[in-house]
Amino acid sequence: MEYYITVEPGVRIYVNDINPQGDKPILFMHGWPANHHLFEYQYDELIQKGYRCIGMDVRGFGKSDKPVYGYDYDTSADDIRCVIETLKLCNLTLLGHSTAGAVAIRYMARHKGFGVSKLVLCAAAAPSLIERPDFPFGLKEDDVLQIIYNTYQDRPQMLADFGKMFFYQPITEAFSSWFLSLGLEAASWATAYVACAWLYETLFDDMKCVNVPTLIMHGIHDQVCKYPLGVAQHKGIKGSKFVTFEDSGHGLFYDEKDKFNCELMNFVG
């Protein structure tokens, strides 16, 4: 079932409730610059096993509305709260990839984990995507500024270049074109504004607020959210489980999709 959920006047979020009769709901939050179709190879398997898979396009991306504001982590977390309340979700597993992993952590802190019983972070952009004086593990600020600049100059080429560093395992030309198409569905301004948010958003304190069982999955070859970020998440979230993906980059849900799906189902139960 497909829904448009109004999160504030004039802004609707698209949600695809793929198996609404299923058990153990999982809300899949995609990272920049894609949409909920990013998890196609999770939906395919999990719905056959009876899970309720809910894909959400974050504002500015996919089929969701594309306002010119609201691309900070607080607003994104508030959008999640509206979706969870509207669908009356409870005992939910919240899964966030990349930037959405960071937003999921913000949600847990800002909304005290409302409706969420388990958290999954995969290649999450936390506690900081960029290097900082007390955190030397992320991307360089200049690299992010270059992404923003390239977005405004030639967004298709920027997205194509990003796709080349996303996966560690070889992908076909057809798959590469499909991945590019996901990014092209986003608004150009949303693509740039989310990248701007990386420059100032941090989750060091937010991680301390996570109080549900948490699974962290991270590829050692990740060139976007580097592997030490996953290590930092594991240290910062009490009682978390950390699973290393030896043959994955940023797209670990496809690089090692069988392992990813197995770890996810074992964790959700």
Helices 173-184 and 141-166, interaxial angle, to 10°?
Answer: 140
The torsion angles phi and psi of 95, rounded to 5 degrees, stand at -115, 125
Enumerate domains of the chain plus CATH numbers: 2-268 (3.40.50.1820)
CB of 52 closer than 8 Å to CB of 24 = yes
| Mean of per-residue pLDDT scores for the chain | 98
Parallel, antiparallel or unpaired: strands 51-56 and 11-17: antiparallel
CA pair distance 79, 8, nearest whole angstrom: 9
Catalogue the active-site residues: 98, 222, 250
Q: Each residue's pLDDT tens digit in the chain (269 positions)?
A: 999 999 999 999 999 999 999 999 999 999 999 999 999 999 999 999 999 999 999 999 999 999 999 999 999 999 999 999 999 999 999 999 999 999 999 999 999 999 999 999 999 999 999 999 999 999 999 999 999 999 999 999 999 999 999 999 999 999 999 999 999 999 999 999 999 999 999 999 999 999 999 999 999 999 999 999 999 999 999 999 999 999 999 999 999 999 999 999 999 99
**Model's pTM, two decimal places?**
0.97
CA pair distance 269, 118, nearest whole angstrom: 11
| Per-residue pLDDT tens over the stretch 118-140 | 999 999 999 999 999 999 999 99
- Token representation of residue 249: 């980059």
Predicted pLDDT of residue 45:
98
